[in-house]
Structure formats: C-alpha cells, structure tokens
Amino acid sequence: MNIAIFSKNVNPEHEHLKKMLIEKLIKGNHKVSIHQNLISIIQHNKIGFQVFEKPEQLSKSVDLFISIGGDGTFLESVRYVRDTNIPIAGINLGRLGFLAYIAKNEIEYFVNCINNKTFETEKRSLLAFQSEYNPFSIFPYALNDITIQKSDATLITVTTLINGIELNKYWSDGLIISTPTGSTAYSMSAGGPIVSTDCKAFIISPIASHNLSVRPMVVPDNAIIELSIKSRSENFVATLDAQHSLMTASSVIKISKAPFCINIVRLPGHNFFATIRNKLMWGVDVRN
C-alpha cells in the first residue's frame, strides 16, 4: 500500500511515536511518503522516502493519508487530499480529537488494521463557499464549518436566505454554518445540536445572538444558504475551517454542499456514538 504521512510540526515529546509508526509501516512492506516536516525524524535512515510539501506534490498513487496531530492537523490534511477520494486516518496527539480519534496506544492496532485491510471508510460532506470576491479560491471548502464573524467590537447583521426565502436577520457576533462533522466543534460551543455524521443536514448557529428567541436551525444539505452582511465596520471575518480572511461588508456569500466528499478511516470497534461518549464523557455519573 502507498501511504502518505503528514504532520504540521515535530514535537520532541511525540517524535518516538512518529518514528514507530513509520518503521512499522516499512516493516509491513508499505511504500511511505512523508511530509517535509518529518524529514528530521528519518534523516538518519538510509531508506529513501518520497517527500511532499504542497498538495500538488502528493502522488496520485497514494492509497491512504495519515494525519498525525490533532483535529487542526486533520483539517489541514483535507486540503492535501481534496477530491482525490484518498482515505484520511487521524492519529491524535492533541487534546480532544473528534476527527483524529486514533489514540497513541492504538498505533500498533492501527498498523495491523492496515496490514490486514480491516479498516473501513465513511464519507463526510463538506461546505462550498462562493462569493464574487472569493479569498479562498484555491480551496473554497470546509469539512467542519464556515463562519462569519465581526472584525471589531460592533455587532454585525447577517441576513440569511434558504433557497431564496428569508430565514432571519441575525444581530450577533457572527454566524456558524456547520456540517454534521463540525457539529461537535464551534457550533456545539455556540449552543448548536450534535448531529450524527450520517445525517444529510447543515446547522446554522448564531454566535452570541442579541435576541433571546433566536436558536440554532437545522436545514437539509441540498439547501443554498445566502448571507448578506451589514456592519458599522467596513469589514467582517470569514473562516473556512482553519482558513480565514477579512472581507468587505458589502459581500454576498453563498454556501452549499461541496461536489465531493472526504473519506475518513474508521477502525473496527470505533463509531460516532462511542466517540461522543468517550470524548464528551457522557455517562460519567456515580449512578453508572
């Protein structure tokens, strides 16, 4: 199997884990490509590695992309894989890890699943961002969420249309449009619902709404969401996962379902509901 490995930085505390993973994959007769950031880990090894730094340098023959880090690293991995259908597996060296859920002590189990081809994949929808001036033109997609946020202390007004029909004018610090995958991220922090990842829906969650009756809204994922922003300030901030840009308040934004999905690796015994229980500590109760 042709495997690419990505990590944003090399933390000395985790260096031995990355070395162990690479060595076990090579021992399993897999062809390994590594990101530029990992060169210092294997420079002592005489075995040749294919090295990539930019998304366009990633070989089209890659069968599996491994992200080592936290959820932020996983989200950046999406920008490498794009619409190639290459499955992404996330090893968690960060804190919570909803996307990068494979724990440090599961690396050997993970490699065995690769060797025996016993892992599965599940498709996750992405959001697509459109605007007359699109600062995200290189990769205008988000796996977790797209947010519109104020750029200073002033409230912004976000007029929101669903398939051309007005839903609301949100007077708030901003608005989050989330996928089910991203429902456990910023949207959850803003009071949005947790949505099972196999649901075909998007979540609209206001950030600090200045109206007590406003609540998060779930809409079908075939909806076209149109946003018009007004502010006393000339600008607002738009984010697509880890990407962010300052935009003018006259901008009109359209958000829809992306034309492709991301394949996320799922190991035997892992599922969304178990992840929710473990990561959010549901069921931690003296009565249980």
CATH topology of domain 2-119+267-280: Rossmann fold (3.40.50)
Closest C-alpha to 113, from 275, 270, 251: 270
- 59 near 52, Cβ under 8 Å? yes
Of the chain, the percentage scoring pLDDT greater than 70 comes to 97
Closest C-alpha to 91, from 172, 182, 175, 20: 20
Q: Give the residues across from 163 on adjacent strands.
A: none
Model confidence band, residue 45 (pLDDT cutoffs 50, 70, 90): low
Selecting among 63, 71, 152, 221, the annotated active-site residue is 71
Closest C-alpha to 141, from 124, 156, 157: 124
Residue 46 has pLDDT above 80, yes or no: no
pLDDT tens digits, one per residue of 139-191? 999 999 999 999 998 899 999 999 999 999 999 999 999 999 999 999 999 99
Helix or strand holding residue 21 (H, E)? helix 15-27
- Respond yes or no: is residue 198 known to be catalytic: no
At the fourth CATH level, the homologous superfamily of domain 127-258 is Probable inorganic polyphosphate/atp-NAD kinase; domain 2 (2.60.200.30)
Averaged over 63-88, what is the pLDDT? 95
Query: Given this model, what pLDDT does residue 58 score?
Result: 86
Q: Which sequence spans correspond to the domains of the chain?
A: 2-119+267-280, 127-258
pLDDT tens digits, one per residue of 228-279? 999 888 899 999 998 999 999 888 999 999 999 999 999 998 888 888 888 8
Scanning the structure block, which residue is given the tokens 């090893």? Answer: 91
Query: Given this model, what pLDDT does residue 47 score?
Result: 56
Query: Given this model, what pLDDT does residue 17 score?
Result: 87
- 199 near 157, Cβ under 8 Å? no
- 140 near 260, Cβ under 8 Å? no
